Amino acid sequence: MRHGRGKMLWVDGGRYEGDFQYNQACGRGCFFHIDGDTYDGVWLNNKANGHGVYTNMKGARYEGQWKDDQQHGKGLETWPEGAQYEGEYVMSKKEGVGKYQWVDGSTYEGQWIDNKINGYGTYLWKDGRKYYGQW
């Protein structure tokens, strides 16, 4: 059984470098996808679980909590053009309370359901206008 620190290589070019326990990625480690994406963080039973950073080759990045290979808990997601979301996720969807900032500087802070603005929140336009209320 793989147990301790090591490196596992896949035929397609992917690789994992990090901790193993009882033949599974468990502990700290980094997975390098063949497409250039990476996940560096905590693993449990061969899945991202705990705090980690996922970066894709186009420059998007998520840093935060993971559960069973999905964004779950609090995190910060940024995109190369400058937009960002900081808040809660449930199984890789924006859900709960969060703040999204668009490239033009406009922001929304409030409730999200299923990746959509939904519930009570505040939208602030770049020119200073504000809307407080239900969405």
pLDDT at site 31: 98
Return d(Cα 25, Cα 48) in angstroms, integer: 9
* pLDDT of res. 129: 97
pLDDT, averaged in runs of 10, over the chain (135 residues): 96 97 97 97 98 97 98 98 98 98 98 98 97 97
User: How far is the C-alpha of 27 from the C-alpha of 103, rounded, in Å?
Assistant: 36
Count CB atoms within 10 A of the CB of residue 99: 16
Confidence at residue 5, expressed as pLDDT on a 0 to 100 scale: 97
pTM above 0.85, yes or no: yes
pLDDT at 120: 98
